[in-house]
Each structure stands twice: as structure tokens, then as C-alpha cells.
Structure 1
Amino acid sequence: MIKWEYITTPLLLHRETAILNNWGSEGWELVQIVTGPEGGLVAFFKRQIAA
């Protein structure tokens, strides 16, 4: 069975691409971007846990 780990991070205005590229370069796959409770954007990522 595949196991996953997850992380969330805020997306700062005018830095979205850099933040997404940084997490992607570490093997994190973007799952979703939503508006957070305080109005900013929050990105949800997942990556497979090595067996």
C-alpha cells in the first residue's frame, strides 16, 4: 500500500511561483490551493513516503 505525507503552506503574494517550485523540487506534489480562514491562499501538498 502506498503511504503519503502531507504539508500545508501559505502562498505569499508575488512569491507564489517560487514557493511552489521550492516544494516541487523537494518532491512535493501540489494537491489543492484554497483561500485560508484569514483570506490568504494556502497550498496543500503530498508526497509518497519511501518504503
Structure 2
Amino acid sequence: MAAAQDAAAPQDTWEYLTAALLPGAAKQILDLWGADGWELVQVVVNPNDPEQLVAYFKRALPA
């Protein structure tokens, strides 16, 4: 029986970005970063300012 060759699947390399979501402008901010290829990962409350939301984005780096 021939040994199966182990072909490593290419893995994506990511870059990350955080952005404050300003009240009344969240959609525009999300649309802007999304149009530039950034994928929204999570939105969290800023621990230093509970009234501020922070968006975390990622996008794949070119191979």
C-alpha cells in the first residue's frame, strides 16, 4: 500500500484592527471598514468607558 502524502493545507494569515463605534455613526463605520475588506469579529464595551463600544475586525493578508 502506498503511503499517503501529507499535503499541508495553506493557512490564512490575518491582520487585526480595532475601531471605536461612535454613537449615531456605527453603521457608517462598519460599512466603511467592510468595504475595505475587514470582517467584523466582535463588538465589546470599552472597559475604560462603559458608554463606548469597540469593534474588532480581521482580514486575510495576501498569500
Normalised by the size of structure 2, how large is the TM-score? 0.79
Aligned residues between the structures: 51
Relative contact order: is structure 1 or structure 2 higher (C-alpha 8 Å, sep ≥ 6)? Answer: 1
Q: Point out where structure 2 has 5 or more consecutive residues left out of the alignment.
A: 1-10
In percent, how many aligned pairs have the same letter? 49
Residue number in structure 1 paired with 2:61: 49
Off by >2 Å, runs of 4+ in structure 1: none
- Larger of the two Rg values belongs to structure: 2
Q: Which amino acid aligns with 2:57?
A: F
Normalised by the size of structure 1, how large is the TM-score? 0.96
Deviation at 1:7, TM superposition (A): 0.4
Q: Point out where structure 1 has 5 or more consecutive residues left out of the alignment.
A: none
